């Protein structure tokens, strides 16, 4: 069973941070750099085509 550590320090940085990811399949770039910083307590929904 997991317990919540209420003594852990609160961080000032984002809960999620992604900087400049890149991905390609062969010669086709499917992800070409995007920066995302999501603050703690924010709900982020990302909808993408499959």
Residue ranges per domain, the chain?
Answer: 14-41
Specify which residues 16 forms β-bridges with.
Answer: 38
pLDDT number for residue 27: 94
pLDDT number for residue 46: 84
38: left (phi over 0), alpha (psi -120 to 50) or beta: beta
pLDDT number for residue 41: 87
Q: Summarize pLDDT for 4-49 with one digit per residue, the tens.
A: 666 766 667 888 899 999 999 999 998 888 898 999 888 888 887 7
What is the spatial distance between Cα 44 and Cα 37, in angstroms, rounded to a whole number? 10
Alpha-carbon distances, residue 38 vs 5, 17, 28, 45 (angstroms): 22, 6, 28, 11
What is the spatial distance between Cα 21 and Cα 34, in angstroms, rounded to a whole number? 6
pTM: 0.51
């Amino acid at each position: 069973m997991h317990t919540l550590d209420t003594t852990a320090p609160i961080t000032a940085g984002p809960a999620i941070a992604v900087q400049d990811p890149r991905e390609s399949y062969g010669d086709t770039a499917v992800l070409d750099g995007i920066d995302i910083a999501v603050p703690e307590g924010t709900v982020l929904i990302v909808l993408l085509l499959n």
